[in-house]
Structure 1
Amino acid sequence: MRPAWFDQLRRPSAGRVLAAVSVLPALVVAGWLVAGLPLLLVGRFEPVAAVLLGLPVIGLLCWAGLRRLPEVVEATGRQVAAVVAVAAGAGVFNAVMHGEQLIVRRDPATYAQYAIWLAKHGSLPIPAQAEAFGGADPALLFARIGFYQVDGAVVPQFMPGPPMLFAAGDWLGGLLLTPAVLGALAVLTVGGLAGRLAGGRWAPLAALAFALSLPVLYTSRTTFSEIPSLILLFGGLALVHDALSRPRPGWAAGALAGLVTGLAVLVRVDALRDVLPVLAFAGLLIAMRRFSRTDGTAGSLPVGEEALGEPGSRGAGGPWVGPWLLAGVVVGAGAGVLAAYALSRPYLAYLSRSVNPLLAICASVMVLTVAGTVAAPWLARLRLPRWAAPAGAWLVVLVMTGFAVRPWLQTVHREVTTPEDQVTATFIQKTQQADRLPIDGTRLYSELSLHWVVWYVGLPVVVLATVAAAVLVRRLLRSGEPFAWLLPLAVIGWTTVTTLLRPEITPDHPWASRRLVPVVIPGLIVLAVWGLGWVRDRARERGYGSRWIGIAGCLLVLVPPAVTSIGTAFTPVEQGEQAAVEAMCASLPRDASVLIIERVTGDRFTQVVRGMCGLPTAQIRIETGNDTAPEQDVRRVVERVRAAGRVPVVLAAEERQVRPYGTPRQVMGLVTRQDERSLVDPPNGTWWLRINVWMATP
């Protein structure tokens, strides 16, 4: 008879390996954020402190998440190797084709500059250093696009989660390669969830379809927040699945799954919407267990009784997973809200029109969850009518059909009411002019949202996902099975519908495609591969060649996204920015106080010079309708800089703009490629981008 320890040393099954490696990304990301946030809040987010605290926290989360992991995936070694190979290939490819968006034009450079500041200084807010300009002056602006000026300091826009991750990459010497690494981890995560829900044979297909999609390539090559958010959300769904699959999970499994999912709010404030179904699901688990104890038998539960274990079993999923899942989500999301309030309050104020209603919805869901849990014994006596199951399935089809025909029924506009709206309207007008479309700055093109999805994953994936969702909804409403699909389907369905209804993003592509990355694209792909398996099984039952149906289905899933992506997949954008910025920094005197006197240069370079060159930087206020600052203001501030014992340096975009203040010298002349701006068609190329910076030393 073999000793017990011998069995523990056996090689783990292929399915268990896939299950483990697909949740590791979420556990590592969550552990780093849990350790990093307190350090950032106290102004000590530094390499040594972060590593000394981060590694034990990551180790603890990995131990809790992987300890006694059950067989939740049936997979072969080849299938696991295929998923890992797709992830590794995607990481290498995107690393080679990575962008260098450091000059602040849109969000990626804002995230990059935020991360660079954290990597160098480890604290917020960013000092404005008004004393380097002779003190405060009405003409001085210290914050531009992506940064807010608050009480003599500069506050970065956005949530701190992504910059904390990118800062770790900067410490390792690879800030611009970090997105490719995260993209590879996201491929693993999506493949792992597909393996759990659709079976190991479909995991490589889901991973490859996801990796080929243009929005995934786009957000895996530069510093966006969508990929880290996806890792936490889908990793959290996988952890919930694993927790409910354990025979005796204990409290840690549910709490960990909730914490990982809730921490998505620390990455993107929009994730508050995405985690709402998790709150409701946790309440459902609590209510189901409460009813089972009141009734005295698990057999009377309306849904999912086998997922919860035997009634009264203290270690079973029911008593622990539900309440601790709820607690974990609240703690994780609460950490995100706390970080936003403490570190980026102006950003919350800017988003108040959408965040305040979302917070109210979250509170309502919590109240309804508590009320449903209390009323569980009475609610459980209700039984859905027979027509509910087919009606739910047809509702799925009708909703997707409505989104498909929406462009012929509605044209979405947004009236200009704020300065930010005016900036967006002007941008849309310029893009329409470049694309030779009718000029209307109020157009949002949101009615095309489902068509965006078809561009990037293909019509077959959308159709298969719709069929899968309809079949799953029918089964869940009829018998409560497959219970494992309930939470993923709720998250995917809820977020897909709300995102397609109101994308809330500037509608040029590939820019707008990022809105589909955290849930919509991976969610529809996971549904589609399950749907393909369902179609294959039905064909086999009817005597058709299931093998050829499977091969044709795989081609239908993979070819359309590959065709869309091929136009831009091999063209990296904004290459050369890092070298150009470093050369510009080397041209500036070490004791300089930099004054930017031209509007576009101020928007692009105020934080770049401050963060990467390490020099006090400000823009001189520019009057409405002008491109450069009044000369009398410039000369007054120049004299104040001299009086402070520093060297004044003037920057602008053109030689003529700096000539009045000294001998012009060009310190940047970058020619590179930028993303296309397409409004009604999928992007299929890139545009030229020229950036010039001239300097004068008065």
Structure 2
Amino acid sequence: MRLRLRGPRVPGAGVTSEEPAGTVQENSEESGDEAVTGAQTATRVLSAPAIFAAPLVSAAATVRRRSQRVWWLPGWVFAAVTQFPALLAVAWLVPGIGTLLAGRLLPLPMLIIFVPLALALCYFAMRQAPVRWREPAVAQGAPGAADGAVRRRSDVPAVAVIATVAIATGFAVWQAVYHSGQVIVVSDPGVYLQYGYWIAVHGSARIPASAAAFGAVPGLNFGSTGFFTANGTITPAFMPGLPLVLAGGMWLAGLPGALLMAPVIGGCAVLSFAGLVGRLVGARWAPAGALVLAVLLPEQYVSRAPFAEPLVQVLLFGGLCLLADSFAGGPGFGGRGRGMAPAMLLAGLGGVALGLTVLVSIGSLSILLPAFPALALMFVLRRPQAGPFGIGLFAGVACSLYAGLVLARPYLSSISAELHLFGLSAGVFGLVTALVAPLAFPGVRRWVRRVFVARPWGRLPSLGSVVKWAAVVLPVLVVAGFAIRPYVQVTRGQTDPAVISYVADLQRLAHLPVDGRRQYYESSLDWVFWYLGIPAVLLAVAGAAALGWRWASAAAGERADREALTLARLWGLPILIIGWSVVTVLWDPAELPDQPWASHRLVPVVLPGLILLGLWGSSRLVAWAVAVGASRWTAVAVATCCVLAMAIPGAVTSLSPGLAARPSVGHSSSALAKFVSRVQFPGAGTSATYGGSLEAVSRLCSAIGQDASVVFVDAGTANSLSQVVRGVCGQPAASAAGASPLAISQVVGSIVRADRRPVLLGASRSQLAVFGASLGAMPRLVLSLHTAGDAAVLTGPPAGTWPVTYTVWMAAPAGLGSGGGL
């Protein structure tokens, strides 16, 4: 008789085949003890190779058995860590803007309010976070999924969570190593840093001009780059969201801490984007999304200096993640039986996060315009999330606009033309919202459905068929239109004399035809190709077409596709925001055209949106490969190729890999060692900028000393250092650029009569030599900084840096020594 063993086997241990087992049993019936001894010998022989493997296999089985009890943990951790940055930002910005409006921004009150608020938001949001999401037919196409099995609720692999967090952390560390030290006001990062420094030290956004420190002398200019003057007060030229975050870094570690806040926010932005990828495409694609975004030079560029775009990404992507989580479960919410209250809570928090993007950048108003027709459609479909989401969105936007009107009114007045254009766009979206509203009536919906599927005269295609094909063709036409734009249009229209001169200088440097009025906006799609690559754009077009085809097919009634409804809930608002932002930003970037500066306009939505659509297209390609019978490893290979096709072009632009002329190792080294030593990465992604600025500013403040009234005789020096002197050095500053020697002598005398010490600063010794005799002191060099800045290029991506020099000479009256310091 032959026994067939059932139940789990331990590979390599015990009996490894059925035949020997049967033989041993039959012999034991015939020959008694001798057969038993033979069976024991055979068992010892077969078990010997597995002596060391058996404990490991047993431990693995135990871990697998126990891990089944916490199957929900990876999904919950993924939801929590990708919500965390946006929740912390909301918890910091809400009390921060309140105390700043009151002129009482202080570290202790902020800490007392922020900590419990952050704990409360994280507790209530993460407690309700779903542990898995409806991923319609995506799990089958994801790397590592079961062989073609379609799962409506796929678990989140622990390795995907670990990889996502590791990539985001590595990105933050990378940017911290190569962070920019823009303490001197060169562009927006310097303005943001000085804004954050001032409110951290003084608790108010109102900067006094301190005209009394210069006596009663008219004609002095107290404004500078990024700072407006009105009614004796200096007002920063930006929204206060990012400066509030930089103020927290100031309180922690001074100016170095504020500078390192940019890499931290950049890492959080990558993490938030990966969370959105995991919710819309699949958790297994989240590390790919984080990787592709992390290797892009524009993302690195804005994460090394205090730019507003990464914080906008944190709030935007985090808000969309919270909204997607609110749709993850419906009744029962993730199978935990909590009803719709968690969904409404998450939707409300998502609306607040989206609304607060305006507090960081006024340009976010344009990004949020598609949210209003989407909100109307949510009300039409009677989604319980609509009310909380709308309230949170309107509350965040209203709070942000009120703060802007109070703290940055001169700045908003300076961009009134852009705000007027935004008003027109808002009117168009209001009309679309009004057209959506009648769909709330069932009779209107039935009539629209009949019109959608009807075929006029029996021969013409139905409106649904036309819409379906239009959804496929439209992304292709948009990209094709931007591709041929440089051949049919040359954009001109710059009117600022300083910008015209700057562009002309760059054109002469690059041996281009000199035309300072050119804006180069017709090449905006080329900017995307330089940084993201053509394969990613093609995959994004394919992904957008696939989404449109599926939605239109379901709406036309050609198939009952419940998964298409799930796609519409998750993708509806993100696809509207992506489509609107891509078209409007590429048509009119509204920035200086030099790279990498202009690339920061692509950062908030354009590049991440194309990556998101590209990963969706990749997932559909992998799913199609599985559907036609491809093996699991073939599907993994297809997914890997798609991700590499999206990541390699961006990495090449960022790193600019190349070979040195000679190896840095000795002649006796191997050929491989010589080759490796020749590999170099001199690109902008591995180049730090404006190093040494903090030390140079410290020396300047020490040279100026205390009780000084600083007068700049050079406009360029005044624009770069006026707020630095006023904020970091703590001394009043004004510009008398262009004034005659007699007028400046009168300013000096007025300062002396006001019991202050006059200090003149200029860019060269010759500018101050004429005042040396009247002041009784010869000019001396107080700041000489030779550093590196981003190389500005008009017709291609930047390949590195170029030298930048700052020189400041000072003249002060003899007998009035300087002292003190920072």
- Inter-CA distance 359–55: structure 2 relative to 1 (3 Å threshold): farther
The residue type equivalent to 2:178 in the other structure is: M
Measure the CA separation in 2 of the matches of 1:362 and 1:396: 23
Tell me the CA shift for residue 368 of structure 1.
4.7
Partner of 1:94: 175
Indicate yes or no: 2:584 matched with 1:498.
yes
Measure the CA separation in 2 of the matches of 1:275 and 1:505: 20
Partner of 2:159: 78
Q: Secondary structure at the match of 1:172?
A: helix
Q: CA RMSD in A?
A: 1.8
**Match for residue 419 of structure 2 among 347, 355, 370:** 355
- Inter-CA distance 175–415: structure 2 relative to 1 (3 Å threshold): closer
Measure the CA separation in 2 of the matches of 1:360 and 1:59: 41
1:410-443 CA distance string (max 9 Å, x none): 1111152xxxx22221211111112221111111
**Match for residue 445 of structure 2 among 356, 380, 394:** 380
Measure the CA separation in 2 of the matches of 1:362 and 1:53: 35
Determine if contact 2:132/2:156 at 8 Å carries over to the other structure. Answer: no
Tell me the CA shift for residue 537 of structure 1.
1.6
Indicate yes or no: 2:357 matched with 1:264.
yes
Partner of 2:523: 448
Measure the CA separation in 1 of the matches of 2:428 and 2:622: 42
Determine if contact 2:595/2:792 at 8 Å carries over to the other structure. Answer: yes
Tell me the CA shift for residue 363 of structure 1.
5.3
**Match for residue 241 of structure 1 among 296, 302, 324:** 324
Partner of 2:109: 49
What does 1:605-684 align with in structure 2 at a 5 Å threshold?
605-622=721-738, 629-661=739-771, 662-684=777-799
Measure the CA separation in 1 of the matches of 2:283 and 2:546: 20
Indicate yes or no: 2:697 matched with 1:584.
no
Measure the CA separation in 2 of the matches of 1:476 and 1:49: 50
What does 1:465-614 align with in structure 2 at a 5 Å threshold?
465-479=540-554, 481=564, 482-483=567-568, 484-544=570-630, 545-566=634-655, 567-614=683-730
- Inter-CA distance 359–122: structure 2 relative to 1 (3 Å threshold): farther
1:225-267 CA distance string (max 9 Å, x none): 0000011111111111111224333342222111111110001
**More deviation, 470-479/36-45:** 470-479
**More deviation, 156-165/247-256:** 247-256
1:376-408 CA distance string (max 9 Å, x none): 215422033222112121011111111112111
Percent identity over paired residues = 38
Measure the CA separation in 2 of the matches of 1:101 and 1:159: 19
1:10-68 CA distance string (max 9 Å, x none): 57421221111111111111111111001000101111111112222222322332222
Q: Secondary structure at the match of 1:569?
A: helix
Determine if contact 2:213/2:709 at 8 Å carries over to the other structure. Answer: yes
Tell me the CA shift for residue 359 of structure 1.
3.2
Measure the CA separation in 2 of the matches of 1:468 and 1:434: 41
Measure the CA separation in 1 of the matches of 2:741 and 2:271: 56
**Match for residue 175 of structure 1 among 222, 235, 258:** 258
Partner of 1:226: 309
What does 1:331-410 align with in structure 2 at a 5 Å threshold?
331-362=395-426, 365-366=429-430, 368-369=432-433, 372-377=436-441, 378-381=443-446, 382-383=448-449, 384=452, 385=463, 386-410=465-489
The residue type equivalent to 2:551 in the other structure is: L
What does 1:108-123 align with in structure 2 at a 5 Å threshold?
108-123=189-204
- Higher-RCO chain (CA-CA 8 Å, sequence separation at least 6): 1
Determine if contact 1:510/1:682 at 8 Å carries over to the other structure. Answer: yes
Tell me the CA shift for residue 602 of structure 1.
0.7
Determine if contact 1:69/1:246 at 8 Å carries over to the other structure. Answer: no
Tell me the CA shift for residue 547 of structure 1.
2.9
Measure the CA separation in 2 of the matches of 1:112 and 1:119: 10
Tell me the CA shift for residue 71 of structure 1.
2.6
Indicate yes or no: 2:236 matched with 1:156.
yes
Indicate yes or no: 2:346 matched with 1:253.
yes
Determine if contact 1:35/1:57 at 8 Å carries over to the other structure. Answer: no
Partner of 2:534: 459
Indicate yes or no: 2:264 matched with 1:190.
no
The residue type equivalent to 1:61 in the other structure is: L
Partner of 1:297: none
Measure the CA separation in 2 of the matches of 1:630 and 1:287: 69
Listed as ranges, the gaps of 5+ residues in structure 2 are: 1-65, 134-154, 331-338, 453-462, 556-563, 656-682, 772-776, 814-822
- Inter-CA distance 359–328: structure 2 relative to 1 (3 Å threshold): farther
Q: Secondary structure at the match of 1:613?
A: coil
> Which protein has the larger Cα radius of gyration, Structure 1 or Structure 2?
2
Partner of 1:21: 81
Determine if contact 2:709/2:759 at 8 Å carries over to the other structure. Answer: yes
Listed as ranges, the gaps of 5+ residues in structure 1 are: 1-5, 290-317, 623-628
Determine if contact 1:139/1:621 at 8 Å carries over to the other structure. Answer: no
- Inter-CA distance 164–677: structure 2 relative to 1 (3 Å threshold): same
1:598-656 CA distance string (max 9 Å, x none): 1111111110100000001111142xxxxxx3111111111111001010000001011
Q: Secondary structure at the match of 1:380?
A: helix
1:147-177 CA distance string (max 9 Å, x none): 0011011000011001101111111110110
Measure the CA separation in 1 of the matches of 2:321 and 2:522: 32
**Match for residue 134 of structure 1 among 215, 219, 235:** 215
Measure the CA separation in 2 of the matches of 1:380 and 1:676: 56
Determine if contact 2:486/2:522 at 8 Å carries over to the other structure. Answer: yes
Measure the CA separation in 2 of the matches of 1:538 and 1:189: 28
**Match for residue 804 of structure 2 among 685, 689, 693:** 689
- Inter-CA distance 182–351: structure 2 relative to 1 (3 Å threshold): same
Measure the CA separation in 1 of the matches of 2:326 and 2:637: 36
Measure the CA separation in 2 of the matches of 1:368 and 1:527: 24
Partner of 2:24: none
1:176-198 CA distance string (max 9 Å, x none): 10000001111111111111111
The residue type equivalent to 1:380 in the other structure is: R
Determine if contact 2:74/2:161 at 8 Å carries over to the other structure. Answer: yes
Indicate yes or no: 2:225 matched with 1:145.
yes
**Match for residue 369 of structure 2 among 253, 257, 276:** 276
Determine if contact 1:340/1:348 at 8 Å carries over to the other structure. Answer: yes
